[in-house]
């Protein structure tokens, strides 16, 4: 605090400095954020390729089904 300011008196220079800096940053943030504000939320769309069926009844799969049915075939 400078010597010419009495106790209880507001340091106008310091307050005005932060006010001006704050005002500039709010305007800058609004300018940066404005494109995102207009964008609507979107659910994840995996696309038909990513969600397509990959299961195939191969020899490997057939062998799995066959061996898992052994218990019943013995009796």
Positions in the binding site for other proteins (CB under 8 A): 43-46, 50-58, 60-61, 64-65, 67-72, 75
Max intra-chain CA distance, the chain: 106
Least distance in angstroms from the C-beta of 39 to other proteins:
14
Residue 12 vs 41, nearer CB to other proteins? 41
Residue 7 vs 47, nearer CB to other proteins? 47
Residue 18 vs 65, nearer CB to other proteins? 65
DSSP state of 57: -
Distance between start and end Cα atoms, the chain: 97
Task: From residue 17, give the alpha-carbon distance in Å to each of 43, 55, 61.
Answer: 44, 66, 73
């Amino acid at each position: 605090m400078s010597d010419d300011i009495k106790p209880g008196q507001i340091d106008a220079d310091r307050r005005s400095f932060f006010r001006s800096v704050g005002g500039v940053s709010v305007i800058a943030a609004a300018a940066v954020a404005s494109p995102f504000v207009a964008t609507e939320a979107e659910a994840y769309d995996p696309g038909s390729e990513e969600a397509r069926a990959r299961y195939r009844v191969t020899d490997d799969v057939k062998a799995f089904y066959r061996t898992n049915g052994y218990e019943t075939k013995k009796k």
